């Protein structure tokens, strides 16, 4: 994890961090002076470690963009797909062969897998919160 703190950040990372700081300010965790100081730190940040420093003593809602790892859910779905079909093909092979009935299991699990991954990529983002006034 120490090596990941030396990764250079992009403008998008800084913008996301600034928006998260703004959320903390609006919720009352930061004073105006603290907010402005930390916002200056975010805009001057070169590495993920610099960004993390701006969030000292604040709860994080999600890890920074640079820290995100591969989508674990996608790999879990792929593993489930492979295991279910491998079991069915193994049962078919040990039962003496004949008509290749696992083709139906392959087809339906593929349909379910594709629907789940497509649904995940199409999921809508939540609208930004409305400001009272």
Domain chopping of the chain, boundaries: 3-67, 72-122
Q: What is the mean pLDDT of residues 59-66?
A: 58
* Of 120, 10, 127, 128, nearest in space to 64 by CA: 10
pLDDT above 70 coverage of the chain, percent: 74
- What pLDDT score does 120 carry? 57
Q: Convert the pLDDT of each residue in 36-56 to its tens digit.
A: 999 999 999 999 999 989 998
Q: How far apart are CA 74 and CA 36, in angstroms?
A: 39
Q: Is the pTM of this model over 0.75?
A: no
pLDDT above 90 coverage of the chain, percent: 33
Q: How far apart are CA 124 and CA 59, in angstroms?
A: 25
As given in the structure block, the two tokens for residue 12 are: 């998008």
């Amino acid at each position: 994890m120490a090596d990941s703190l030396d990764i250079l950040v992009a403008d998008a990372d800084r913008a996301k961090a600034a928006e998260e700081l703004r959320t903390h300010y609006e919720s009352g965790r930061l004073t105006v002076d603290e907010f402005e100081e930390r916002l200056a730190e975010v805009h001057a940040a070169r590495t993920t470690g610099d960004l993390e420093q701006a969030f000292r003593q604040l709860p994080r809602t999600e890890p920074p963009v640079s820290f995100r790892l591969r989508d674990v859910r996608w790999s879990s779905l792929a593993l489930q797909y492979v295991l279910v079909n491998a079991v069915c093909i193994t049962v078919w092979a040990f039962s003496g062969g004949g008509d290749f009935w696992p083709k139906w299991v392959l087809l339906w699990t593929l349909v379910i897998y594709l629907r789940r991954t497509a649904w995940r990529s199409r999921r809508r983002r939540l609208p930004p919160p409305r400001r009272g006034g």
